[in-house]
Amino acid sequence: MTGSAATAAPADALPVFGRVGAEAGREAVLAHLAEAARAVRRRDIQLVHEAGQGHIGGEFSVTDILVTLYMHVLNVSPERPDDPERDRLILSKGHAAAALYTVLAARGFIGVDELRSFVQPLSRLNGHPARTKIEAVEASTGPLGHGLPIAVGTAVAGRMDGSPRRTFVVLGDGELQEGSNWEALMTAGNRRLDRLVAVVDRNRLQQGARVADTNDLEPLADKARAFGWEVVEADGHDHGALVDAFAAVPAASGRPTMIVAHTDKGYPVSYMRDQVSWHHKVPTAQHVQIALDELGTT
């Protein structure tokens, strides 16, 4: 790992991090994830500022989930991005693309310098992730409600191949209002797709309003259990809690796993945290500076 370079680097520098597995010990894993998450958020907010677009609130709520997956959980490697036995990760809430690109760069799947091209003409880094442009993007997403159905098919394919590979899908909570998700939840439960994991970024906000005031999901865990899923609730900003939740997959029950990751939109930045306006507001230079100060460097 080269993450310690973050300390003295200029504000927009992003180190490339390796994967640190459980064999390194819990303390080393958690230190690695904390450092990577900080570096990713620092780079991401500057990316969105420079591009003049993005969804920084939902990017910061999902950062710890994506970092824990790419830097610790997933059996994936930039040296073999097309390995048929790799784990699959689908970011269904595709509007958080800049967070995904920043994590992919931090893990070595795309160049750190390429991040500067985000949403520029002819860039591969579209406002929503495109499978046809970036090999490490497992599914094109953006229209909400598609990632989980694709993930169910991906998990079925893995089972038909007799493969131990796992499929992870990261969903927004507002996204769960799309009916397609509930067909997919039902199918996965009925088929007992134990190597399928759905992570819900439960930040309680959607675009312009609270989820509960729009079309409430509760009792979400009970609903998922009724559809045949194992449900784990975790603090989605606590890397240790996420590591433990992922380590419990596949569940002994043989059911697919839903991790309800309790998060805050804009976490951990003071002016952004739990503020619905930060769904897709663009940070000014001053906003960026405050965020960098709050995120710190070590």
Ligand X SMILES: Cc1ncc(C[n+]2csc(CCOP(=O)(O)OP(=O)(O)O)c2C)c(N)n1
d(CA 119, CA 115): 9
- In the complex with ligand X, the residue whose CB is nearer, 16 or 137, is 137
Nearest alpha-carbon partner for 49 in 228, 289, 276: 289
In three-state secondary structure terms, 47 is helix
Q: What is the smallest separation between the CB atom of 58 and Mg ion, expressed in angstroms?
A: 6
CB under 5 to 8 A by kind: which of Mg ion, ligand X, none does 143 bind? ligand X
Q: What is the smallest separation between the CB atom of 210 and ligand X, expressed in angstroms?
A: 10
CB under 5 to 8 A by kind: which of ligand X, Mg ion, none does 145 bind? ligand X
Q: What is the smallest separation between the CB atom of 204 and ligand X, expressed in angstroms?
A: 8
Restricted to residues 150-209, the positions that interact with Mg ion (CB under 5 A) are 172-174, 203, 205
The DSSP line for 134-169 is -TT--S---STT-HHHHHHHHHHHHHHTT----EEE
Residue 62, C-beta contacts closer than 8 angstroms, at least 6 positions apart: 91, 93, 96, 99, 170, 201, 263
Restricted to residues 73-132, the positions that interact with Mg ion (CB under 5 A) are none
CA 139 to chain centre: 13
- In the complex with ligand X, the residue whose CB is nearer, 118 or 278, is 278
Strands (E) located in the chain: 88-91, 167-172, 196-202, 230-235, 257-262
- In the complex with ligand X, the residue whose CB is nearer, 55 or 165, is 55
Q: How many residues bind Mg ion (CB under 5 A)?
A: 5
Q: Which 8-state DSSP code applies to residue 281?
A: P
- In the complex with ligand X, the residue whose CB is nearer, 61 or 167, is 61
Whether the CB-CB separation of 271 and 287 falls below 8 Å is answered with yes
Which residues contact ligand X by CB under 6 A? 55, 58, 61, 93, 95, 142-145, 172-175, 201, 203, 205-207, 265, 279
Q: What is the smallest separation between the CB atom of 85 and ligand X, expressed in angstroms?
A: 30
Q: What is the smallest separation between the CB atom of 175 and Mg ion, expressed in angstroms?
A: 7
Q: Could you list the residues that contact Mg ion (CB under 5 A)? A: 172-174, 203, 205
